[in-house]
Structure 1
Amino acid sequence: MSTNKVILGSEEWCSFPELGIPLIKARVDSGAKTSALHAVNIAPFLRDGESWVKFDINPIQNNLKTIIHCEALLVDKRIVKSSSGFREQRYVIRTTLDFGEHKWSIEMTLTNRDSMGFRMLLGREAMSGRVLVDPEQKYLLGQPSSEKLKELYHNAERAKTGLKIGLLASNPELYSNKRIIEAGEQRGHEMHFLNIKECYMKLDATKPEIHYRGGKILSDFDAVIPRIRPSITFYGCALTRQFEAMKVFCLNSASAITQSRDKLYSLQLLLNHGVDIPTTGFANSPLDTDDLIKMVGGSPLIVKLLEGTQGKGVVLAETKKAAESVINAFKSLNANILVQEFIKEANGKDIRCFVIDGKVVAAIQREALPGEFRANIHLGGTASIIKVTSEEKRIAIKAAKAMNLKVAGVDIIRSSKGPLLLEVNSSPGLEGIEGATNKDIAGEMIKAIEKNFKWK
């Protein structure tokens, strides 16, 4: 006679996906009416006016180190008589029982089963109409290896308690880095500072690795936040690519960081995406200097070293003669330069928009101190909150998207032609913008990682 019922042995492995329990061994007992799940630290609470219960479970018998934190809607409280004849009041929950291809909703009571041989008891109420039991058999639906169990429990613990996140940077005492570590820990994640100069890598087609000074292998990271200073862009991006090869989520990718550090390429990329910039010229030969100056509107103008870091290698040439002298001096050193129009009407001010995951989360206006030189680029001074226009927000978001950066500091200058984009920074500092706006920017960066993992 054919049946659609699932056949179980006297012991089987099952899971409870809604509780985050990946696998647990159950005693299949048709002699018991009620199903029971091992639980400790049981505590009822209210959520949106409904009664819930939270509890912890050690899913492995005689193992108190592995803990899974669970929450479930409370169905009932009832008196249950145990196999030893002891009566106790238990909380009752309803959740999905998963036997692989077979899933259905059951009610379970919560109780401490430390003295019992199984963390889970499957009673006949949960089996009625669905199960046939062969008491002479065990594990008819399969038995996992110890390695598989270890992996499943490890991943389940992490899903409940947080992610393992590495901050790939150079200076652990830097304000931005300290804030990111702090924000991650406050949101329940395991944070590690990874000094770029102390990392080295093994290139391998099947098992790529990153080692840390002393021989420690950096494994099991869920995500990495690269914050690479310009002077070590090459090595920092090589490490980021290695993490990507190891299937670790990187908040900013190596390719995005690399192209953001190439001033000429990044400007061409932005223009191709319809983002306006100050008129800019680039030439290879000193013989073209005169026309190069003309094409950006003449003096005063800005000369920028392509290899220069933010605020460095930038010169304001106030006259044509000065511009020719600076350009030719750089060219005699075989240095690649950009020549850019000077936005006089900006009056020493620019706007920094902080973009995270396609959204402007904060913005400040930066203004030079009296007498301080500013050449279409921020060199210091004061920061204050500013209300950015919808067009400025659009430009900032579009620029970050064009550069494929999930986190970016986008610098914009207000001109008579409208807002113009100056630069996109892939490792923007947090101190100025958090201090001026009092916003938790570091926390927003951690939330962007959580969103990628759909972690709550």
Structure 2
Amino acid sequence: MNKPLRHALFAVFCLSPLVDTAIADDETTYGWVEKATIEPWGTEVKVKLDSGALTSSMQAEDIEEFERDGDDWVRFTVEVEDEVSDDIVSKTFERPVFRNLQVSGAGGEDHRPVVLMTICMGETLREEQFSLEDRDDMNYPVLLGRRTIQSLGTLDVTETFLHDADCHEDSPLRAHADKDYDEDIGI
């Protein structure tokens, strides 16, 4: 191998970790567990970032599917521990069904409605797809899957709680979340 080529390869191998580190430093890094608020409710919950799951999921009970103006809708109650007050709180939501999810596992097949919900992580409001399931027996009421994680930034599986949920009141997405469908059920 000629000398200039050898020097060029040496530089690539030696400097590439520095380049990767510089790129990673520009991205926002999240831990495998973070805090987020469910909007427009504002309740703060622990959120697990799970790269093994494709679709995000949210704690939901009393899931009732119905039809409104020819469209599929779902009514559900989110009951969680508020990380700020340590109180168990609940709220009933109504949302149009975004899509239906078929989950196959050892226990058979399960059908879950998927809805759009808004959460605040760090300083960013995000409208994401969440499958609804009873997660009472799980440690984290909200799980973020790969579809959501890929748009966040970097996931550091050795860290937790790198961000506080601190979204601004005047965010356009918050205004959208506030107008959501809750007025239809008097909440």
TM-score, normalized by the shorter chain, greater than 0.5: yes
Paired residue type of 1:106: E
User: What letter is aligned with 1:140?
Assistant: L
Pick closer, same or farther for the CA change 1:7–1:85 going to 2, 3 Å. farther
Which residue type is aligned with residue 118 of structure 2?
Answer: T
Counting only pairs closer than 5 Å after superposition, residues 215-234 of structure 1 correspond to structure 2 as none
The question of 1:8 aligning with 2:30 is answered: yes
Q: Is the 8 A contact 2:37 2:165 kept in 1?
A: no
Q: Is 2:90 the counterpart of 1:75?
A: no
1:121 alignment partner, one of 143, 167, 172: 143
AA in 2 matched with 1:97: I
Separation in 2 of the partners of 1:73 and 1:2? 39
Cα distance in structure 2, aligned partners of 1:137 and 1:97 = 21
Distance apart, 1:15 and its partner CA: 1.9
The equivalent position to 1:22 in structure 2, one of 43, 67, 88, is 43
Over 3 Å counting, the alpha-carbon distance change for 1:8 and 1:75 in structure 2 is same
The answer to whether the Cα contact below 8 Å between 2:36 and 2:164 also exists between their aligned partners in 1 is no
Equivalences for residues 29-44 of structure 1 within 5 A: 29-44=50-65
Amino acid corresponding to residue 128 of structure 2 in structure 1 = I
- Residues 53-452 of structure 1 aligned to structure 2 (within 5 Å): 53-60=74-81, 66-81=89-104, 87-142=109-164
Q: Deviations over 1:64-106 (max 9, x none)?
A: 9521111212111121246x76531101112223214222321
- Cα 1:86/1:14, change in 2 over 3 Å: farther
Identity of aligned residues (%): 25
**2:123 and 2:165 in contact (8 A); partners too:** no
Give the number of the structure whose residues are more often strand, by fraction: 2
C-alpha RMSD over aligned residues: 3.0
- TM-score by length of structure 2 reads 0.66
Structure 1 SS opposite 2:148: helix
The TM-score, its normalising length taken from structure 1, stands at: 0.29
Q: Distance in 1 between the 2:96 and 2:49 partners?
A: 24
| Matched AA of 1:78 | L
SS of the residue aligned with 1:59?
A: strand
Structure 2's unaligned 5+ residue stretches are 1-21, 167-181
Paired AA for residue 37 in structure 2: S
Question: What is the Cα deviation at residue 56 of structure 1?
Answer: 0.4
1:342-396, CA deviations, whole angstroms, 9 ceiling, x for partnerless residues?
Answer: xxxxxxxxxxxxxxxxxxxxxxxxxxxxxxxxxxxxxxxxxxxxxxxxxxxxxxx
TM-superposed CA distance for 1:107, in Å, is 0.9
Give the match's secondary structure for 1:67: strand
Shift of 1:33: 1.3
In structure 1, what is the Cα distance between the partners aligned to 2:34 and 2:118?
16
Q: CA deviation at 1:122?
A: 0.7
| 2-structure distance, mates of 1:85, 1:134 | 31
Instruction: For 1:30, give the aligned amino acid.
Output: S
Report the structure, 1 or 2, having the larger helix content.
1
Counterpart amino acid of residue 15 in structure 1: T
- Deviating runs (4+, > 3 A) in structure 1? 2-5, 84-87
In 2, Cα distance between equivalents of 1:36 and 1:21:
18
Note if contact 2:49-2:149 (Cα within 8 Å) is conserved in structure 1: no
The unaligned stretches of length 5 or more in structure 1 are 145-159, 162-187, 189-454
- Relative to 1, partners in 2 of residues 1:128 and 1:21: Cα closer, same or farther, differing over 3 Å? same
Residue type at the aligned position of 2:62: N
CA distance in 1, matches of 2:127, 2:141: 19
- Mark the structure with the bigger radius of gyration: 1
Does 1:49 pair with 2:65?
A: no
8 Å contact 2:121–2:164 — kept in the other structure? no
Partner letter of residue 79 of structure 1? Answer: Q
